[in-house]
């Protein structure tokens, strides 16, 4: 922990990325007096508003999506602001790029660099730049953020301020790594886990706000188990978020915590019990939500 409060900047590709990969960690930082700004590169409506996708599926080319997008942008930002407030911060900045414009471009880099100069973060969190082999908005956002980091620490142009960010983490680096597609491990590695068990309820309530992506209710609880719970299982706790350092860790001695030392003496039952907590069973669903099995594929649907 630094000797003064720090300013964190999270650079997200889509609105919900501002908290759904690192929100528990951000809640911990806010709790210890740090400040958080989330900069969202794209509006996320074209790719992440399921009602628009549903209308397009039914109407095809007859649906002009522009009116829907124009109306939904503010609604989507508002639900993300509510989610972030649940986690303790409300500085959420919309950089306003279209989410089907997926390439690394100078205007996106410039926009992120401008936020870096304005916010002056001590620590930046963004996407792993080669997520999904780099062929996705998350990857290109991570790349834009790194180019912006370089731009902001340079001398700039005219009277631009200079701000070097000393510490960068990639969030959820292994989330899309598999061996069945282009999503090979590449440069991704998880080297820091943050135990978010004490704030998992806040994160589930934040996910409950994201109605436009149907994240609320049953999915919020399932996601907590299958994503944060999966990482928790690896870290021998109930719920965790996963990060990869980009800038190297420089310390006077090698870091080791009491939590690690406790593993020497604790019985096997302790870490198994710790990992077995289930938020889905503990947190009530919103009134109109339910767990259901009625959308299952049938055995017949898998026949060749
Ligand atoms: Zn995303």
CA of 35 to the centre of ligand 1 (A): 23
Does the pLDDT of residue 180 top 90, yes or no? no
Question: Are 23 and 36 contacting, i.e. CB atoms less than 8 angstroms apart?
Answer: no
Confidence of residue 181 (pLDDT cuts 50, 70, 90): low
Distance 255 CA to ligand 1 centre (A): 32
Domain locations in the chain as residue ranges: 7-302
The mean per-residue pLDDT over the stretch 90-100 comes to 94
How much of the chain, in percent, has pLDDT values that exceed 70? Answer: 97
Task: Mention every residue, 6+ apart, whose C-beta is less than 8 A from residue 158.
Answer: none
Distance 195 CA to ligand 1 centre (A): 22
Q: Average pLDDT in the 189-205 region?
A: 95
CATH of 7-302, one of 3.40.605.10, 3.40.50.10320, 3.30.70.360, 3.30.360.10: 3.40.50.10320
| Residue 260 pLDDT grade (very low, low, confident, very high; cuts 50, 70, 90) | very high
Enumerate residues 6+ apart whose C-beta is below 8 A from 32: 1, 5
CA 270 – CA 237 distance, rounded (Å): 10
The DSSP 8-state label assigned to residue 227 in this structure reads: I
CA–centroid distance, residue 10 to ligand 1 (Å): 13
Mean pLDDT of 265-281: 88
DSSP state of 273: H
Least confident segment among 49-63, 132-146, 151-165, 177-191: 177-191
Separation of 266 CA from ligand 1 center, angstroms?
39
pLDDT single digits (tens) 24-74: 999 999 999 999 999 999 987 787 787 888 888 888 888 888 888 888 888
**What φ, ψ does residue 8 adopt, rounded to 5°?**
-105, 140
Give the residue among 71, 72, 52 at the shortest CA–CA distance from 63: 52
* DSSP conformation class of 182: S
Sequence-distant (≥ 6) Cβ neighbours of residue 178 within 8 angstroms: 184
b/e code 250-284 from CB counts within 10 Å (16+ = b) = eeeeeeeeeeeeeeeeeeeeebeebbebebbeeee
């Amino acid at each position: 922990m630094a000797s003064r409060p720090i300013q964190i900047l999270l650079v997200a590709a889509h609105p919900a990325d501002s908290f759904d990969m690192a929100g528990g960690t951000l809640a911990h930082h806010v709790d210890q007096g740090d400040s958080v700004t989330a900069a969202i590169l794209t509006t996320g409506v074209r790719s992440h508003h399921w009602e628009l996708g549903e209308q397009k599926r039914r109407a095809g080319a007859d649906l002009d999506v522009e009116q829907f997008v124009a109306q939904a942008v503010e609604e989507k930002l508002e639900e993300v602001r509510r989610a972030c407030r649940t986690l303790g911060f409300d500085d959420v900045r919309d950089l306003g790029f279209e989410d089907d414009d997926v390439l690394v471009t100078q205007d996106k880099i410039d926009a992120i660099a401008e936020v870096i100069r304005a916010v002056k973060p001590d620590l930046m969190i963004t996407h792993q730049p080669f997520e999904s082999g780099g062929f996705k908005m998350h990857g290109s956002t991570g790349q834009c953020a790194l180019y912006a980091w370089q731009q902001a620490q340079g001398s700039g142009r005219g009277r631009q301020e200079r701000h070097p960010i000393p510490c960068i983490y990639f969030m959820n680096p292994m989330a899309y790594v598999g061996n069945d597609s282009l999503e090979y491990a590449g440069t991704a590695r998880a080297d820091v886990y943050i135990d978010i068990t004490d704030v998992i309820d806040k994160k589930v309530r934040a996910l409950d706000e994201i109605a436009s992506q149907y994240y609320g209710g049953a999915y919020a609880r399932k996601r907590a188990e299958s994503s944060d719970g999966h990482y928790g299982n690896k870290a021998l706790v109930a719920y965790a978020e996963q990060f990869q350092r980009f800038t190297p860790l420089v310390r006077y001695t090698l870091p080791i915590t009491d939590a690690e030392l406790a593993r020497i003496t604790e019985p096997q039952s302790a870490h198994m019990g710790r990992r077995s907590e289930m938020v889905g069973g503990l947190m009530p669903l919103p009134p109109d939500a339910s767990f259901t099995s009625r959308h299952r594929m049938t055995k017949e649907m898998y026949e060749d």
